[in-house]
Amino acid sequence: MALLVLMMVLAGCGNQQDTADKQAAQNKMDQTEADTKVMKDEFGDVEIPVNPKRVAGIYVEDYLLALGVTPVVQWYHPSWGKQDYLDLDVPTFDITGSMEGLLEASPDLIIVDGAVDAAKYELYSKIAPTYRLPESILQKPTEILKTIGDVLGIPEEAERALNEYNEKIADAKAKLKQAVGEETVAVLRLNIGDKTLALFGIENRFTGNIYKEMGLIPHPFVRNMTDYQAILSQEKIPELDADHIIVFPSNGGWDSEENQEAMQVFDSPLWKSVPAVKNGHVYKGNRTHWQSGAITANMMKVDDLLKWFVQ
């Protein structure tokens, strides 16, 4: 009888253990399913982690930092360099080379912007779930910020960063309006390679926000442009009678030795005939944040504009 009771107890324990094991397995399965979500990106529905721990943001590292997230890599281009203004201390990933550098970083989520086409998107997707920002928001930094916040599951951080951004822009707009008034502004890039000057239009992703958000008045050349940028011909240089001109190099810094030859354009009589040059109203910008339209870069432009125009 004692032996029979013992066998029944052991059988009961075994059944309880089996039930516990099955429940644990089910919980794990449920948890795995709950750890992903489906979001719609530019190319369709994509399943991504709910709480990604290792995020790669190709071209969008600026937004990640604004949200308090440090990316696992930083992109760079052999000809363009990288976005030094972010001051990131992470491995670099050459976007013109193989995917090995990105693979070694072991991201569990990759976020990319409009520079990534469908073919490149497929390559990234083989490394980790990849979210490509919708084309419809690529001209809107605040929408990009909110979207990335939703993708990462931290909308509250996006709201915080957005409030900070909007307050800074509103404050700067009021001060610039008082200091600059109706005076016109133009932004140029010195193209180091072919030694030309590119005029940036009002729709340019990098600099258009100084007109649209900060209220500066674009020079008619800028206002009437439909292209993002256009080479300013030699004949047109004297006609660029903007009250203020902002210029930055396409590559490197103003003190870079390789840029000295291209900078000779500023010694030409045509350039010296420009009103803003005569009046000392030409401002040298830092390439890395002036050639970016992201949230952090835009706030750094605000600091530059206040320094140049408001004092």
pLDDT at 28: 46
Q: Which residues lie closer than 8 Å to 26 by C-beta, 6 or more apart?
A: none
pLDDT of 309 strictly over 70: yes
205-235 residue pLDDT tens: 999 999 999 999 999 999 999 999 999 999 9
Q: What is the mean pLDDT of residues 178-183?
A: 96
The least confident of 57-61, 78-82, 209-213 is 78-82
Helix (H, G, I), strand (E, B) or coil at 117: coil
pLDDT of 58 strictly over 60: yes
Summary count for the chain: helices (H), strands (E)? 12, 13
Pairwise CA distance, residues 138 & 129, whole Å: 20
Q: Higher-confidence residue: 108 or 78?
A: 108
Quickly list H helices, the chain.
2-34, 61-66, 100-104, 118-125, 141-152, 155-180, 209-212, 220-223, 269-272, 275-278, 287-290, 295-305
pLDDT of 31 strictly over 50: no
Distances (CA, A) of 277 to 67, 192, 241, 246: 39, 20, 9, 11
Pairwise CA distance, residues 123 & 119, whole Å: 7
- The amino acid that residue 69 corresponds to is V
